[in-house]
Chain A
Amino acid sequence: MSEAENHVVIAGAGHAGGSAAALLRQMGWTGAITLIGEEPLPPYQRPPLSKAWLKGEADADSLLLRPAAFYAGAAIDLRCGTRVTGIDRAARRVSLSDGATLPYTHLVLALGARPRRIPLAGSTLAGVLELRSAADADELKAALGPGKRLAVIGGGYIGLEAAASARALGAEATVIERESRVLARVACPMLSHFFEAHHRTRGVEILVDAQVESLVGAHGHVIGVRLADGRQVHADAVLVGVGAVANEELAREAGLPCDNGILVDGTARTEDPAIFAIGDCTRRPLPLYGDRLWRLESVPNALEQAKQAAAAICGKPAPSPEVPWFWSDQYDLRLQIVGIPFDAAEIVLRGDMTLDSFALFHLADDGTVLAVEAVNAAQEFMGGRRIVAKRKRLNPAQIRDMSLTMQQLAA
């Protein structure tokens, strides 16, 4: 018998961990909860870091998931500036960076992901930045302003949102992408080209098929990016945004199966029934897509898995599966994506791309709608969510026909 009486330890106090703690209380957990976070702040929202926060439009309080006083009030022992350094599964104890050890009856790993680092000459120069934490965002913000030049390595969501925010702050921005188009990993070519065109209109320089050779410095500070073809991009700061790596080492060292993410089932449980894992650090089955294992780096996924873990720990019925979704705001464009277009056979456009309001429907070869990418098209996004959840089949003519409403298409 463990010495812990109903004690949930949550390792990681980001969106997933913070939400899991709150949801446990919502679902009636009366035992102890310890929430352990490496950062100095209580759980906060990361999505604004590349948008409203970077542009100075959000204050510190609005960034927090819940007010700092919430945790004590809900009898959640929040320990900031601390991390779990080891798991003794046999004894059901974790050790902490401050030397303490804690017994648990349930352990929730909400360890997040970290920015991928590329081995480049010059990457330790001052002014070479990444964007994951509020501290990272503050550093980036300090480097932006009228007349400043930002170079972004990587044309993913983070890089494009940061470029858009940099322009809003009056800085110059260049996005350097290794692939032949931006958003290559996460969007279809039509959407990539739409976003490239928009960024160029707003004065962002976009370089595709561009290999970075090294970062150039002077007096210890970065001054530019040298490309393999000899070109040099001058910059006062360089943001490296080339994806994220799951923080799975703690689980791996404890002998839990990991494979590009801590492997969990549909209730967020790992191989060890006393240990759950949630959020960016996991690879999970997707029930809508034949239980394919996938890493979903998104807030909705963090919340869904937090719900799964809290329900399982509290002995509640498993929540019904949700449709994965993502969003990104750049300039006056709101991109909302529902579903994942695995093995799509056809892409069908609904609406008019030149009017900046349209949606791209990704269909399997039998017409099943796998995913919808919607730009300034809330109806298409919301209707698409219903259609994807139902695994509904549509034919391309129906989708293109704007005289059919989304209500009709989703019915």
Chain B
Amino acid sequence: MTKQAESNQTTESEKVYNIINLGPTHPATHGIFQNILKMDGEIIMDAEPTVGYIHRAFEKIAEHRPYNQITPLTDRLNYCSSPINNMGWHMTVEKLIGCEVPKRAQYMRVIIMELSRIADHVICTTIIGQDTGATTGFLYFFQMREKIYEIFEEICGARLTTNIGRIGGMERDFSETAWKKLDIFMKEFPEYLSEFQNLIERNRIFMDRTIDCGPISAERALAYGFTGPNLRAAGVDYDIRVAMPYSSYEDFEFNIPVGQNGDTYDRFMVRIQEMWESLSIIRQAVEKMPEGPFHADVPEFYLPNKEDVYSKMEALIFHFKIVMGETDVPKGEVYHSVEGGNGELGFYLVSDGGRAPYRLHFRRPCFIYYQAYPEMIINGLLSDAILTLSSLNVIAGELDA
């Protein structure tokens, strides 16, 4: 494309293109990334995305940290759905140490993960609306995310960067208030979601704006390595929760919504439908919630009760070792992936023994989407480029890690 544009320039020597910096700080980028656009009026002739504005070297930092201290790093990948990142990391470590998590903890994790998927999709869908100019849907529906964060707050004490769960299970059982808030949420959310759908979904202007905006074919999407809602919008029914079930997802009945054209409208609709599916998963998990312990018996990784620490020798030793980060982790190499809010979030973990990983790689879906971004916006209008970016839901934290 670049070459073509250049040859155009040489043949029509008078033609001068306008270079526009979309970002690093632009209201539409919802984060910090830069796109150097070559514009012919409002039409994008060439695009060059840059990455790294909030690169924090998480993979390198992880090489010096004990496993339980890597969880807060994962919070800051896709900060719109940090619980999924946390859970993915816990499950990776559990896979490495061969720890079987009790059913109750798995179901609790499913509830938390689906809640955060809803939170993630609430952000993405409302932001698509906001970027088309429909501010009301954004501010109105956003209240639901607040409700979800209140539940998280009740479960783990934090809201955005949750550090939720522990290696081997959950840090504590859901409290009474948490169940109550979950009930209220499940009652209120369908109303809000339907209202939001009614406002936006069949709006003529919204449809005109989003249909055929930044499309990508299933072949190209697969070639780039798309996963998650963005791949499903292109028509491929690939969902890790079904393809490689983890955390008892095989126990639940749910559909995988797929789109056809891979355009912004399909990405929007897939996310809307996924919220309904997530809601149904939560409902099933609440109904089927088994009794039992909420964490596995892995004293090397799971902090003992405070009373035991003060009264028992073993507990005191394990407590000391965990807190000081001196747990010896077995050698091994594992890959585990979860269906994140944005796609396949993978953790490739190599351990050569000792307290910290030898190498940890995050497979971040946003990084992959962003590679396809120029292809999706070239020859389109500037307005389309902005909608495409928000519908891909590229989160800067996950893009740059």
Q: Do A and B come from one complex?
A: no
Interface residues of B (CB under 8 A from A): none
Interface residues of A (CB under 8 A from B): none
